[in-house]
Amino acid sequence: MIDFQIVDTYDELCRRGADIIAAQIQKKPNSVLGLATGSSPVGIYQNLIARYRSGELDFSKITSVNLDEYVGLGGDHPQSYRYFMQKNLFDSVNIDPKKTFVPNGLAEDSAAECAAYDRKIEELGGIDLQLLGIGLDGHIGFNEPGDCFVESTHLVALHPSTIAANARFFESVDEVPRSALTMGIGSIMRARKILLIANGAAKKEIVQKAVSGPVTPQIQASVLQLHPDVTVIYSKD
Ligand code: F6R
């Protein structure tokens, strides 16, 4: 069941999104949070940092598992997702660095890295709350349109539209990595609660298809319709 909320502003989206995450942390201080990168969650992370600074939130018992990482980028590369998480959240709250997990984009054996990542999520007892953005092609994590839903963490070739969309973060499109490691749809769907956020006119159509169109691997986010506890917040700006 999807609780689909449409709000006018990105500020309002961030407030509501942060409310949901804050409620999870307060209810279960040792929650496992599944986290996302990209532009959509930045304001939510800022909101969570403000709540931490005001004493409302404590991250000391939280564990985080991120959705994905570019292959070939180390954690000190400014466009890596590990670096993004440090700069946009981890460095500004009291989360234990040893309890923050992001797939290793430099792993020599990507299959072993993916298997280890899935084992880690299992050992942690699964994800309590998974935060998701959505790509223009309907991807969640980097699960790109295809003929099936892939269950576990895997190596994926990025779709040309994803490479083009993410070029804004790099000096040129040629620098965008062509592949990534991503959590699979199985791990995402096993999260006990899911929050998907999207903002701006360009995402309107894909969000509508994901929320109320046919469930199809051509639009990977549509699988969320089969999850019992999903909130989607879309803002117009
Ligand atoms: C990022 C991720 C991606 C993004 C999606 C939207 O960890 O998994 O699925 O959420 O590409 O990106 P933005 O928010 O930059 O439009």
Distance 169 CA to ligand 1 centre (A): 12
Pocket of ligand 1 (CB under 6 A): 36-40, 67-68, 133-135, 139-142
Span 94-112, average pLDDT = 98
Span 32-41, average pLDDT = 98
pLDDT higher than 90, residue 234:
yes
Cβ atoms < 10 Å from Cβ of 82: 23
Positive or negative, the Cα torsion across 117, 118, 121, 123?
Answer: negative
Spatial distance between the Cα atoms of 188 and 151, rounded to a whole number of angstroms: 9
Q: What are the tens digits of pLDDT across the range 57-66?
A: 999 999 999 9
pLDDT mean across residues, the chain: 97
Instruction: Considering only CA atoms, give the Rg of the chain.
Output: 16
Q: For residue 60, what pLDDT is reported?
A: 98
Span 96-121, average pLDDT = 98
- Residue in 14, 67, 150 to alter for ligand 1 test, most ligand atoms within 8 A of Cβ: 67
Distance 135 CA to ligand 1 centre (A): 6
Q: What are the tens digits of pLDDT across the range 69-96?
A: 999 999 999 999 999 999 999 999 999 9
Q: What are the tens digits of pLDDT across the range 132-153?
A: 999 999 999 999 999 999 999 9
Q: What are the tens digits of pLDDT across the range 193-228?
A: 999 999 999 999 999 999 999 999 999 999 999 999
Atom of ligand 1 nearest to the CA of 203: 16
Positive or negative, the Cα torsion across 109, 112, 116, 122?
Answer: positive
Output the pTM of the full model: 0.98
Q: Are 92 and 105 in contact (CB under 8 A)?
A: no
Q: For residue 27, what pLDDT is reported?
A: 98
pLDDT higher than 90, residue 1:
no
- Residue in 10, 40, 73, 144 to alter for ligand 1 test, most ligand atoms within 8 A of Cβ: 40
Percentage of the chain exceeding pLDDT 90: 99
Residues serving a catalytic function are 68, 137, 139, 144
